[in-house]
Structure 1
């Protein structure tokens, strides 16, 4: 993800109505449930101005032995809830509508699934598609979590470009570009040691996603209780460092390296990306890991 952009919004330009599709999927692309958690948060916060407008629920796309249906109780009766993708339309304000796509990552027929998703986007007159993802990385909770915002139409590759396995967000991005949509990708990194905190969700990462989206869209999205939950999560991370000397040393070294680099570099978008890459290489070396790109 090297094609980074600054979040840009020109308040001097006259506002026109925009419909933006936001998509996030559970599983491999969703470390700490940050991406799907952020979108579920938006659906909850704008419940009075939102409505479900579509679903994708079909065995054609899911392997039920890996993405299993679950039994739930609904008004005193048992019911099977099948894996499905839900589309919810949110009226944020008179000039902005969000079409939120959330669900488990499909197991099969990704190209067909992407076309199904984009067909509904066209039906709802979507102007732009933004896919969201989160990943465990070499960063710390005591510094701003790194975000990567890229224009999916720019396929320029260089020596720092990612190569390796991808998930459904990348496939959906390519399909959206091919279908003529303005398309972006937003990823946030969360500390790798977050896996050892007794919490499935990472509200610190969710808050960062909400803030980044609001900055790009030019609106102040509702954060609700996320700031408080994020503070509690940071407290848990602080406690983890007090009982694990290796984690504490890791955090201290990462903070020093990050702070020193910030002092030396003017943080243009290219410099920021380079700093993130160098920090990750340094921390992998500190952990005794191979610094070769995976």
Structure 2
């Protein structure tokens, strides 16, 4: 196996960064990537919320030249009249954070690797062993036929069934596109390390805009699983504002008829299905065109807003 410790800051192995943990307790590692499983930007918002409360310390930086497709996902750059002024260099970093009670944990975040997934998994494996990580937790989000007026649903998966801590609403066997989330979980399990994942279901009609409801659900799942303490008040305020905006647009567009149909179908599915499909009966669900036409103006209004102003 390749060794990557040269990229770790040398002092970390001797710094005792996890000395404050009780004897026999090992840290958890959370990971969230911008890429395939990022509907509603929910994993990114979750990480940004954690970093807003504790910036953390970078203890490992991945060499993105090994993993990133610069031509496929060109980073933004500022051209100022007659010169290139700023380059927003992408980064994939591992940070040590502390929860509201001072307990340390690790967060790996940044763009999802485009290349060399097996090499990346090996590098993460080295980190897991170097820091004595007890549990690796992946955060993801997918667009689904669910209404925003219902509690956010989480699908739980794990490298071992004994690690599951909740019963999944959707339990069908399907073929899906692979992601680095799934490859990491499989490989870490093969190497004897426990790994779990939480995937939030985001209403498909808002999957392209920020959806804090799913971020709250993800962090609540992590807190319940690990015992870490996160103050989610600010994120819940964002959640309430976003839901209010969505509901207002729904009422203005069609009086809520499409949403009401979706709610009825969703409620029927959750009540009656023992082995429900991943989506409800397509003959009864609103079509993509129907949903798109009802929310087109809503999404356009969000795109026109000034960042951070809410206007």
More displaced 10-residue stretch of structure 1: 214-223 or 35-44:
214-223
TM-score of the two chains, using structure 2 as the length reference: 0.73
1:151-230 → structure 2 map (5 Å cutoff): 151-154=158-161, 160-195=172-207, 200-230=209-239
C-alpha separation in 2, matches of 1:152 and 1:96: 25
Structure 2: any 5+ residue segments left out of the alignment?
A: 1-21, 163-170, 289-311
- CA offsets, 1:4-37, max 9 Å, x none? xxxxxxxxxx995231111111022101110122
**Is it true that 1:38 corresponds to 2:39 in the alignment?**
no
Deviation at 1:43, TM superposition (A): 2.0
Seen in structure 2, the aligned counterparts of structure 1 residues 36 and 258 have a Cα distance that, compared at 3 Å, is same
**Is it true that 1:107 corresponds to 2:119 in the alignment?**
no
More displaced 10-residue stretch of structure 1: 24-33 or 219-228:
219-228
TM-score of the two chains, using structure 1 as the length reference: 0.77
RMSD between aligned residues? 2.9
- CA offsets, 1:226-275, max 9 Å, x none? 11110000011101211332x8223212323444566668xxxxx5xx45
C-alpha separation in 1, matches of 2:260 and 2:102: 45
Alignment check: 8 A CA contact 1:57 1:83 kept: no
Deviation at 1:88, TM superposition (A): 0.9
Alignment check: 8 A CA contact 1:87 1:99 kept: yes
Residue 268 (structure 1) aligns with = none
Deviation at 1:72, TM superposition (A): 7.0
- 2:145 is aligned, of 138, 142, 146, to 138
Residue 60 (structure 2) aligns with = 54
**Is it true that 1:281 corresponds to 2:287 in the alignment?**
no
**Is it true that 1:66 corresponds to 2:72 in the alignment?**
yes
Seen in structure 2, the aligned counterparts of structure 1 residues 16 and 257 have a Cα distance that, compared at 3 Å, is farther
Name segments (4+ residues, structure 1) moved above 6 Å.
none
- CA offsets, 1:51-93, max 9 Å, x none? 11111123121111122234479xxx94534322111111327
Greater Rg by CA: 2
Deviation at 1:149, TM superposition (A): 1.0
Q: Which has the higher contact order (CA 8 A, sep 6+)?
A: 1
Seen in structure 2, the aligned counterparts of structure 1 residues 94 and 232 have a Cα distance that, compared at 3 Å, is closer
Seen in structure 2, the aligned counterparts of structure 1 residues 195 and 33 have a Cα distance that, compared at 3 Å, is closer
C-alpha separation in 2, matches of 1:258 and 1:231: 21
Alignment check: 8 A CA contact 1:55 1:87 kept: yes
| Count of residue correspondences | 255
Deviation at 1:169, TM superposition (A): 0.5
3-state SS in 2 of match to 1:244: helix
